[in-house]
Copies of this chain bind each other. A is one copy, B any other.
Amino acid sequence: MAPLGAGLEAIFAPKSIAIIGASQDATKIGGRPVELLRRFGFPGTIYPVNPRATEVQGLPAFPTVDAIPEAPDLAIISVAAEAAPDALDACAAKGVKAAVIFSSGFAELGEAGLAMQDRLRATALRSGMRVLGPNCLGAASVAERTIATFSVVLENGLPPVGPLGIASQSGNIGSYTALLARERGIGASRFITTGNECDVDIADCIAFLAQDDATKVILCVLETCRDAPRLTGALEMARAAGKPVIVLKIGASEAGQAAAASHTGALAGSDAVFDAVFRRAGAVRVHSVEQLLDLGHAAAVLGDRLPKGRRTMLLTASGGFGVLLADAASAAGLSLPSPAEATQRRILDVVPYASPRNPVDATAQMSSRPEILEAILAALLEDDACDALLILMSASLYLPRLRNVYMPTLRAVREKHPDKVVMLAVHGPPDAVAELTAMGFPVVDGVGPSTQTLAGLCDIAAARTLPPLPATLPPAPPVDAVALRTEAGTKQVLAAAGVPVLPERVVASAAEATQAATAMGFPVVLKIVSPDLPHKTEVGGVVLGLDSAVAVAAAHDAMLERVRGAAPSARIDGVLVSPMVRGGTEMILGAKRDPVFGPVVLVGLGGVFAEVIQDVAVRPAPVDEAEAMAMLRSLKAFAVLDGARGRPKADLAAAASAIAALSRFAAQHAADIAEIDINPLLVRAAGDGAVALDALIVPAAS
C-alpha cells in the first residue's frame, strides 16, 4: 500500500477537478460539488464529465475523462456502482492523481459488491492513484475552497478557516461535526470521510493531517480499524508532530459494537483494546460529537499552553453553581486542591463574605468592580497548587454591566499571566465568546462540558510525556504444543518465559511424592497430571494442605484410585507435587489475540468479582514493567493491593514483572498461541513475590 498519507494533497489542494457524473441539478449528488465548488470560489478548473450534456451548470462538459484537455489532479466519481470501476480505470489511464468515489453499493452489500470494490482497489494499487471511498461523503478543504463532497451540511456554508482537521470514517458524523463547527464559528482546515476505505484509510488521513501545516489539532471519528499497524503508525506521526489527536470511537457498548459490525462489515475489535491503543498512542478519547469539538477547539486555542497537572481551582459567583461545578469536576477526574492560606486571605481581603476554599464562591461581589475580579484571579493564578483555573460565568456576559467588568479584566489577566491555563464556562452571547476566544481563552458552554474539556486538555498534556513505544519483539520459535497439554508443562513454559512459578515436581509413585514433598517442605498440594482432565477438581484430582509424609503417600494413592474411577479412559502422566502457599491476593493474568490489534495482555483481581465487576486492565503486548505498574494502578480495586483496610501491601513490583514477562511471551508467540490464562496469579505481601498457581495456554488453531 501507499506510504501513510501519501498523495492526499491531490484531494485537498488540486489545481483541477473532474466530476464524472456531473449533473445539471445542483441538489443531486453529482450536481452538488459543481455548485458548491463555484459557490465557495474554488480557484482551479472544473471539468464536468457527462456524455449526455455539452454543458453542466453553465460550464462546458466533456463526454469522457479522456476528452479533458489535461490530466486533472482530482476526479470525483458519482456514477452507479457498476460503472465506477471503469470510470476509475479511465482516470488512471488519463493520469489523474486522486479520485473520490461517492457511489455506494460495494462491500457494504456483501460478496458481489466486494468483488467490484476489489477492482477499485486493484486500480489504485496498480496506478498509484489515491482513491477515497467508495460509499463515502468525500472531502473538503476549507482554505483551498476544494469541495469534493456532496454533504448537505455544506449547503448552509463552510466553517471558517482554522486549525481543526476532521477525519471520519462515518460520513454523517463527520459532516455533523463540520456543521457544528460552522454554527459555533470554530475554524476547520480539512474535512475527509473515508467510507469503505478501498485505498485511502483513516490512517492515511491522520498521517496527512499530522504533516499538514494548516492543521494543528486532529479530530477523528472511528468506527473500526482495518489495519492496526497503519492506524498506530499514523497516531505516532501525529504525536511526533506535536498535534493532539482527539478520537470519537463509536461502538463502545455491546449494542453499539453489534451495530458497528453489521454496518462496516469489519471486525469490531474489543472496545477496551481500542482504549488501550489510544492511551498508548497518546490519542484522547471522547464520547460525543459535542465533546469532540469542544476539546478540539480548546486544544487549538491553547496550543502548547497546556495544564501541567490536574489541580484545578474553581471560581464562581454562586454557591450553588460552585457545588455543581465541583460535582462535575470530580466526575471528570480533575483534582480540587484547597488554595493556600495566603491565597484565601487575598480573596477574603477583597470579598469578605467569599467562601475561599475550592470551589471558590466569590459571590456577586466578584464581578462588581474590575479591581476585585483582578485581585481574585491574581490570587488564584499565583497559587502554587493551581494548574488550571476554571471560571464559571454562566450567562453573566449578557448583562452589559458584568460584561464591562469581565472583558477588560480577563484581557489584562491574559497579558499578565500568558502561561496560565484559564478555562471559561460561558453561556453566550456569541460575540463575547468570540472576543474571549480571540484573547486566547478556551471557552465552553456548560458545567459538564467545561469540566470534561479541561480534563481532556490534561489528557492531551499527559500524552506529551508518554514514553516511546515499546520495541517490537521478534517472533520466537513456536512452543511445543505437547507441553501445553498439562498444567505442569504449561507452567514450565511460562517459567522459561520469566513468569514466576512454584518449585514443583511431577512424580510417578507415592514414594516419589513423599520424597518430593519432604524436599520442598510441608504442607504440599497434589494435583493429577493428565492431558485429558482440564478440570482436575471435578474428578477429585486436587488435594490441598497435606502436612506429613504419611498424608502425602496416602493422598497420592487415593487420588489415583479416585481419578481412575471417575475417568477410566484418561491418560495419567503422574501427580504434581507443589508447595502449599497461603495468603496474598489472587489475581488473574492473561493474554489473548485481539482480532484487530493482535496480542494484548490483561490483568485484574481474581475470583468471581473481577469478572462480574469487569475491573480489568488491558494493554497491547508487550508492556514494560512501568506500563504494567500503570495497569495495576488503573484497576478500581487497586486499593486492595495497596493496603486497603489494614491489609498488607502486595508485592506490586513482582506482579508488574510477571505481567511484563507474560506480555513479552504473548507478543513473541502471536502466531502460535491464541490465549493464556494464569488464574490465579498469587501476589504476596511486598517483598514476598508473586507466583502463578495455575495456568492454561491455548495454542492457535493450525
Contacts beyond the supplied A263-B319, A290-B446, A608-B647: 9 A-B pairs with Cβ under 8 Å = A170-B321, A176-B427, A253-B327, A255-B326, A256-B323, A258-B357, A262-B355, A263-B320, A613-B636
Task: Give residues of chain A (382-403) contacting chain B, Cβ–Cβ below 8 Å.
Answer: 394-395, 398-399, 401
Is B608 a contact of A644 with CB atoms below 8 Å?
A: yes
Tally of this chain's copies? 2
A319 and B320 alpha carbons, distance in the complex (Å):
41
Q: Is the interface of A mostly helix, strand, loop or mixed?
A: helix
Is B288 a contact of A323 with CB atoms below 8 Å?
A: no
Question: Which residues does chain B contribute within 8 Å of A156, judged by CB atoms?
Answer: 398
A179 is an interface residue with CB less than 8 A from chain B? yes
Q: Could you write out 30 A-B pairs with CB less than 8 Å apart?
A: A108-B353, A152-B399, A155-B399, A173-B324, A176-B427, A223-B323, A248-B324, A252-B327, A253-B326, A255-B358, A256-B324, A256-B326, A258-B326, A258-B357, A259-B322, A259-B323, A259-B359, A263-B319, A263-B320, A263-B355, A263-B361, A287-B327, A288-B324, A288-B448, A289-B324, A290-B448, A609-B609, A609-B640, A611-B645, A613-B636
Stretch at the interface among A297-305, A328-336, A554-562: A328-336
A246 and B340 alpha carbons, distance in the complex (Å):
38
Question: Which residues does chain B contribute within 8 Å of A172, judged by CB atoms?
Answer: 317-318, 320-321, 394
Among B223, B252, B395, B611, contact of A644 (Cβ-Cβ < 8 Å): B611
Question: Which residues does chain B contribute within 8 Å of A615, judged by CB atoms?
Answer: 613
Instruction: Return the 8 tightest CB-CB contacts between A and B, nearest first.
Output: A170-B320, A172-B318, A263-B319, A253-B330, A256-B327, A255-B326, A256-B326, A250-B323
Task: Give residues of chain A (258-302) contacting chain B, Cβ–Cβ below 8 Å.
Answer: 258-260, 262-264, 287-290
Question: Which residues does chain B contribute within 8 Å of A323, judged by CB atoms?
Answer: 170, 223, 250-251, 256, 259-260, 263
Question: Which residues does chain B contribute within 8 Å of A645, judged by CB atoms?
Answer: 608, 611
How close is A566's CB to chain B, nearest CB, in angstroms? 18
A639 is an interface residue with CB less than 8 A from chain B? yes
How close is A179's CB to chain B, nearest CB, in angstroms? 5
Task: Give residues of chain A (23-60) contacting chain B, Cβ–Cβ below 8 Å.
Answer: 27
A355 and B263 alpha carbons, distance in the complex (Å):
8
Question: Which residues does chain B contribute within 8 Å of A336, judged by CB atoms?
Answer: 255
